[in-house]
Structure 1
């Protein structure tokens, strides 16, 4: 649906044709569920949280100003909801010493992208992603799984594009260390 058509649909919903909201919920339901699921890591919780996202979005629809696209606005609500819920659970996240991250050569961290087809490493990578902080998992999900450009990741997360790039770089290093620790007991 064109952005202009979507804005008209939103205007109609805000003006009382609330049954039209089902169109938006159907259109974006799968993507919102997938995003939330990857951040919280539990399909059952993700279903409930995705519903919460659509309720929050519906209640806030009158404040949607169109500065970003509707999906970007909705994904920001989804991302914030999932991150908040994950933080609320107070899980332990992987904590890696800053010196260890700084001492890891950038070229080593880039090697993560060469692991395609190496199932053992991919399984370790999946487990490592689960150890990331919620905000980090959100960025990994948006950039790598959903393949949003840095600019869209910035809009959804509310951080600058340059900060998205820096965080993704640090996350790659962190994942490299976590995967190698799982496989070998160290980061080499």
Structure 2
């Protein structure tokens, strides 16, 4: 149903209905911004990349072929725009408070569970920050956004086998870093 909705609005935009594009922007703006912020680790740069990506989408909408989902095509544009931005500007840092990394569903959770969630989010953010942009994007697309390997292949241009290997190696890196973090925290406690 979503693909049909997207196709309807894409056709409307191509027919000259500029307002129809706002539907696509509203539908995908959070996804676009989230991917950009996770790659760039900087809110302002992510906003700029999101705007640039939507502008590119609008300008190139006629080139979209329905071979893949619109969201996959859009992800590819965001990914490429963000990676280009990283190449131009060196890495910047961003605190966990500046980004909406996870939504906490039940606000009635007790303090200890809430603390554990916050602690886990901070640890996960530290792990992600240790990764290079490409690995961070793969982890984000696969685990946090739920993309399939085939979609990630279309988005990044990597072949499926390469993605599986990179995901495996990245998980291993994250696991090793997690052991280091936990070990240092245990030493601090003792």
Work out whether 1:16 is the aligned partner of 2:9: no
Paired position in structure 2 for 1:138 = 137
Paired position in structure 2 for 1:42 = 42
Paired position in structure 2 for 1:30 = 30
Contact persistence 1:143–1:153 (CA under 8 A): yes
CA drift at 1:119 = 6.6
Change in CA separation of 1:28 and 1:87 when aligned onto 2, cut-off 3 Å: same
Unpaired runs of 5+ in structure 1? 93-116
Paired position in structure 1 for 2:166 = 167
Task: Give the alignment's TM-score, normalised by structure 1.
Answer: 0.76
Unpaired runs of 5+ in structure 2? 93-115, 185-190
Paired position in structure 2 for 1:53 = 53
Contact persistence 1:87–1:134 (CA under 8 A): no
Once superposed, which parts of structure 1, at least 4 consecutive aligned residues long, lie more than 4 Å away?
A: 117-122
Task: Give the alignment's TM-score, normalised by structure 2.
Answer: 0.75
Contact persistence 1:121–1:179 (CA under 8 A): no
Deviations 1:93-114 (A, max 9, x none): xxxxxxxxxxxxxxxxxxxxxx
Aligned residues: 161
* Larger deviation, residues 117-126 vs 9-18: 117-126
Paired position in structure 2 for 1:6 = 6
Distance 1:118 1:17 in 2: 45
Where do 1:49-88 residues align within 5 Å? Answer: 49-88=49-88
CA drift at 1:91 = 3.3
CA drift at 1:6 = 2.1
* Larger deviation, residues 69-78 vs 35-44: 35-44
Contact persistence 1:83–1:138 (CA under 8 A): no
Change in CA separation of 1:25 and 1:121 when aligned onto 2, cut-off 3 Å: closer
CA drift at 1:53 = 1.0
> SS at the partner of 1:81?
helix
